[in-house]
């Protein structure tokens, strides 16, 4: 049973939108990434979107591409990532957890096995960024058979028939992309046309809409909600914080004082970032939103 409906109902009752951070499992290594995930939860994440490293991440910009490389160099495979997810699930029974993974992984494993393994680890949803909705039927069918929500992307300025197809195929939430291109904070998010897209998706009885790509500041979260989104997803900004500590974490022996101090500093930055982003989802705060410290931008 998906945890997303309960999350969105609870947020609506509190007059809040959802804040969902993305991070790469295995970056900079599996153990450190598990601590990173716990920091995101401690900072107030309403749900998690966890990346699985892949060799050719065509939808990602340079920041997240480097996270894929670091995780692969650390030996993080698909099932290693699921083991991390399973441990996070044991600690956070009601937290929605989504996985973002490229289509080659389920295709290589076999759809039935892939989605069954995801479900067994406690995954609520799977987003395949390189599988367009017009080619998604076998993936979506296998996901739902395993009890996993298929999430699809609503492209910017999409035609009505595309939005209708995304609405019909998506469960859990719809990932609305704020602009053309790849992930990254090099280009800011945009809410141009979002209100019209959200209206069309709602008319088609779509799942709640989350806005992603280029969201790195609390004011952008507030703008997404004001334009009609149910929440916002931030990825590259989170991954950049991890990247700033990655080399030091790899160089210091695990368990050493230096390693623990670096991990604590990383966790503290992530908690601060998430707290500021989450605060911007509280609609009762109006237009006054907290700022993210300059070093985290």
What positions carry a catalytic annotation? 49, 60
The strand order across the sheet containing 174-177 reads: 149-151, 125-127, 97-100, 48-51, 18-24, 231-234, 209-212, 174-177, 153-154
- Give yes or no for a contact between 88 and 37, defined as CB atoms under 8 angstroms apart: yes
Structure tokens at 71: 């995780």
Interaxial angle between packed helices 236-251 and 62-73, expressed in degrees from 0 to 180 and rounded to the nearest 10: 40
* Strand, coil or helix: 268: helix
- Count Cα atoms within 13 angstroms, Cβ side, for 150: 28
What is the distance of C-alpha 28 from the center of its chain?
Answer: 17
Closest by alpha carbon to 209, among 253, 250, 155, 258? 155
* Strand, coil or helix: 285: helix
Name the CA dihedral angle for 110, 90, 5, 165, rounded to a multiple of 10 degrees.
Answer: -20
Structure tokens at 82: 């699921």
What is the distance of C-alpha 29 from the center of its chain?
Answer: 18
- Give yes or no for a contact between 170 and 151, defined as CB atoms under 8 angstroms apart: yes
């Amino acid at each position: 049973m998906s945890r997303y409906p309960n999350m969105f109902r609870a947020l609506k009752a509190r007059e809040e939108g959802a804040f969902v951070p993305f991070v790469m499992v295995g970056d900079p290594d599996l153990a450190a990434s598990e601590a990173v995930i716990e920091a995101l939860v401690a900072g107030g994440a309403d749900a998690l979107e966890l990346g699985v490293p892949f060799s050719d991440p065509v939808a990602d910009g340079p920041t997240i591409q480097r996270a894929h490389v670091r995780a692969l160099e650390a030996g993080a495979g698909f099932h290693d990532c699921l083991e991390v997810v399973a441990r996070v699930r044991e600690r956070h029974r009601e937290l929605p957890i989504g996985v973002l993974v490229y289509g080659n992984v389920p295709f290589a494993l076999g759809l039935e096995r892939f989605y069954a393994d995801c479900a067994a680890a406690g995954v609520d949803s799977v987003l395949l960024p390189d599988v367009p909705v017009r080619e998604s039927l076998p993936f979506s069918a296998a996901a739902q058979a395993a009890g996993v929500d298929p999430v699809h992307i609503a492209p910017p300025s999409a035609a009505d028939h595309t939005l209708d197809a995304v609405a019909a195929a998506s469960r859990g939430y719809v990932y609305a992309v704020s602009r053309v291109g790849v992930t990254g904070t090099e280009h800011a998010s945009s809410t141009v046309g979002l209100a019209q897209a959200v209206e069309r998706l709602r008319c088609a009885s779509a799942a709640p809409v989350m806005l992603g790509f280029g969201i790195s500041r609390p004011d952008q979260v507030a703008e997404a909600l004001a334009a009609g989104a149910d929440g916002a997803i931030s990825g590259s900004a989170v991954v950049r914080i991890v990247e700033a500590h990655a080399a030091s974490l790899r160089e210091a022996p695990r368990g050493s004082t230096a390693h623990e101090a670096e991990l604590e500093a990383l966790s503290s930055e992530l908690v601060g970032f998430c707290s500021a982003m989450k605060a911007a989802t509280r609609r009762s705060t109006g237009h006054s939103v907290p700022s993210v410290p300059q070093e985290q931008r």
